[in-house]
Structure 1
Amino acid sequence: MTTPTQQRLSLIDVVNRCDSFPYPSDPRLGQLSFLTFIVDEIPCGRIHSSVVPHIVAFNQQDRPVFHITETTISFMPWLADYESRSDAIAQMLDIWRKDAKSFPSLSGWRDELYGVYTHNANPLTTKGGAALAIERSACGIFGVHAYGVHMNGYVRTGPRPHQVKMWIARRSATKPTYPGMLDNMVAGGMGFGHSPAYTILKESMEEATIPIELARNAIPVGTISYIKLSKDETDTQPETQIIYDLELPADFTPIPCDTEVENFRLWSMDEVLESIRSGEFKPNCACVCLHFMIRHAVLTPENEPDYLEIAQRLNRKIEFPGCKEWPTFKEEH
């Protein structure tokens, strides 16, 4: 909980910590230096100008991989399908990951691919709707649209919508990102080839030991979306989180199953809100909680002065193509 030395955040401050990339009307946008990553003549990401010399160096081969202008980076015409593009990116990242100083995010290499989707649905040049796939830890370098799932686990304490308690996870102190911070009961990135529903079932068992029969009761309730800007302003990460709610019986307790979660606590809405205001939550997880609180009338237009702005900001429009049909080729049946 909040200590006397901690700054108490407004809920707009909380949203700003997650959705930190400047909007078009923000003068800070002009101070940033990004090139547009183009695939199939469609903007699909942002690459910081500091990365360009590394791409130029990789391009010094018999058949250059990228076409580089002052404002854009795109694949050369001979890389026109999923396999060739994905292989080229993988080869380049294999070199970059050895340069920890220039690419610190790659030190968290996950060996997990994320799809980069496109409006082009040609099965000869795409796979599962994706123009290419990229290592998860590199998504911020290319600024491509990433996806995840988050699940609110809650227990009803009365007949009114706001009469609920929420299960909150404490992230392991050994996690490479946001160690020791508070998290939603279940959350995880969506690896390429897994659907949202499958990912929720998988993460429920892996993180909270929730039996599949119980996890199947989870209901999709919407999304939050935002664009993160790294502290050094060289990585940008557009993300959409697909949100699920799971009402749990009062006698059920989630149990950590892997090394990612330290413990779970069942908290009142006041306790959750106080921890959000004190900055204890991982930023996007705080926003998932705010989404829950709006839907369950914990936050209302009468008790939160920034209610309208919060509701709008939780669903930032991502200008890059999104997935329309989730590929499931990696799922176990």
Structure 2
Amino acid sequence: MTTNPSRPRFSLLDIVKQCDSFPYASDPKLKELSFLDLIVDDIPIGRIHTTLVPHLETFNQQTRPVFHITETTVSFMPWLSDYDSRSDAIAQMLNIWRYDLKNFPPLSGWRDELYGVYTHNTDPATTKDGAALAIERSACVLFGVHAYGVHMNGYVRTGPNPWDVQMWIARRSLTKPTYPGMLDNMVAGGMCFGHSPYYTVIKESMEEATIPPNVAKKAFSVGTISYIKLKDGTQTAPETQIVYDLELSKDITPTPCDTEVQGFQLWTMDQVLEAIRLGEFKPNCACVCLHFMIRHSVITPENEPDYLNIIQRLHRYIEYPGPKKWPTFKEEPL
């Protein structure tokens, strides 16, 4: 990699803050924001900016009222008391909004993929595998609900020490709706409702990197990263990425299988760090790489002055409910 000295460089903590950008309770900037809590079962499950409220009120007028709106909260009307009714109401509204990209730009990345939104209530009469409702993936930021994904580091061992590794790095397709052309982990993907993390890793490995299931099944979970991103001051994205590692032999080369990845490169840790500092990675993918480097003693308390802050910001507590057990009601044949 050739370094251009005139290009801006970021600290590693700066990179993490690009993901974990929603103000903390002690930050005075929090008072400048204007969000309402999205409520189900009397507990918050998301955040809705006040600029979205008029659109909710308009939808209430077009059909049987769906939302109960106060100065601080948005909740569902009592007749929407179960998973199916809430999911159907949200879907009807989003199918109207998706054609108004001026007011709802995130819906330009419509995926036809549903994400589960969880509650503490697990009554099967009102929830589905612990989910209060399901929502189109691209709409999650409009409602500030907790989204989940998986990221897998593919690496090759080059020596006996933990830091003697190289990483397979993907470059995102220029046609991707988000972060086109930027660097990515070897395998990554959102978790559709009804699929487990492990299944998602295996599926995405084949779809993105042509890694067959018998190889991908050797991946092992190594923890999570979590953060809350503030987008344009009006949208929040609380996300948890479930992280896997997969050690590959030198005779296995990831190869693009679909249109989401341009190609793969096997890089040293120095090359990965340099690209992170230059802002070439999709931010949450950079964070997954940092998580890997901390675990492999590439980044240590001795060589990184922001070591503790980086670790803390990679593991933000997200107050919204999550699944007690990942639902797998969809077919998982792999």
Q: Same fold (TM over 0.5)?
A: yes
Give how far 1:325 is off.
Answer: 0.7
| Equivalences for residues 98-137 of structure 1 within 5 A | 98-137=99-138
Alpha-carbon distance, 1:62 to partner: 5.9
Query: Which residue pairs with 2:255 in the alignment?
Result: 255
CA distance in 1, matches of 2:170, 2:40: 38
Q: Which residue does the alignment assign to 2:30?
A: 29
Superposed, 1:1-333 pairs within 5 Å as 1=1, 2-61=3-62, 63-230=64-231, 232-333=232-333
1:125-148 C-alpha deviation (Å, 9 max, x unpaired): 001110000000000000000000
Go from structure 1 to structure 2 and tell me whether the alpha carbon gap of 1:62 and 1:172 turns closer, same or farther (over 3 Å shift): closer
Letter in 1 for 2:61: Q
Per-residue deviation, residues 84-138 of structure 1 (Å, max 9, x unmatched): 0000000111111111100001011100000000000001100111000000000
Report the 3-state secondary structure (helix = DSSP H, G, I; strand = E; otherwise coil) of the residue aligned with 2:95: helix
Q: Indicate the SS of the match to 1:15.
A: helix
In 1, are the aligned partners of 2:154 and 2:167 still within 8 Å (CA)? yes
Q: Following TM superposition, by how much is the alpha carbon of 1:211 offset from its aligned partner in structure 2, in angstroms?
A: 1.0
Structure 2: gaps of 5 or more residues? none
Instruction: Give the 4+ runs in structure 1 shifted more than 4 A.
Output: none
Deviates more, 1:62-71 or 1:105-114: 62-71
SS at 2:225 equivalent: strand
Aligned Cα root-mean-square deviation (Å): 0.8
Structure-1-length-normalised TM-score: 0.98
CA deviation string 1:291-329 (max 9, x = no partner): 000000000000000111111110000011011111111
SS of corresponding position for 2:117: strand
SS in 2 for 1:254: coil
One-letter code aligned to 2:84: E
* Unmatched tracts of structure 1, length 5 or more: none
Residues 8 and 62 of structure 1: CA distance in aligned 2, closer, same or farther (over 3 Å):
closer
Deviation, 1:331, is 2.4
- Which TM-score applies when normalising by structure 2? 0.98
Q: CA deviation at 1:233?
A: 1.1
Structure 2: distance between partners of 1:306 and 1:136: 33
Among all aligned residue pairs of Structure 1 and Structure 2, give the percentage whose two residues are the same amino acid: 76
Alpha-carbon separation, structure 1, partners of 2:116 and 2:76? 16
- CA distance in structure 2 between the partners assigned to 1:5 and 1:245 by the alignment: 35
Q: Deviations over 1:35-90 (max 9, x none)?
A: 00001111000001000000000111563111000000000111000000000000
- Counterpart Cα distance in 1 of 2:303 and 2:175: 38
DSSP 3-state at the match of 2:286? helix
User: Which whole-Å CA distance do the structure 2 matches of 1:87 and 1:62 have between them?
Assistant: 13
SS of aligned partner of 1:240: strand
Q: Post-superposition shift, 1:4?
A: 2.6
CA distances 1:204-233 after superposition (whole Å, capped 9, x unpaired): 000000011110000100000000111x21
Between the aligned partners of 2:16 and 2:142, the Cα distance in structure 1 is: 22
Aligned to 1:59, what secondary structure does the other structure show? helix
Shift of 1:33: 0.8
C-alpha distance in 2, partners of 1:242/1:284?
12
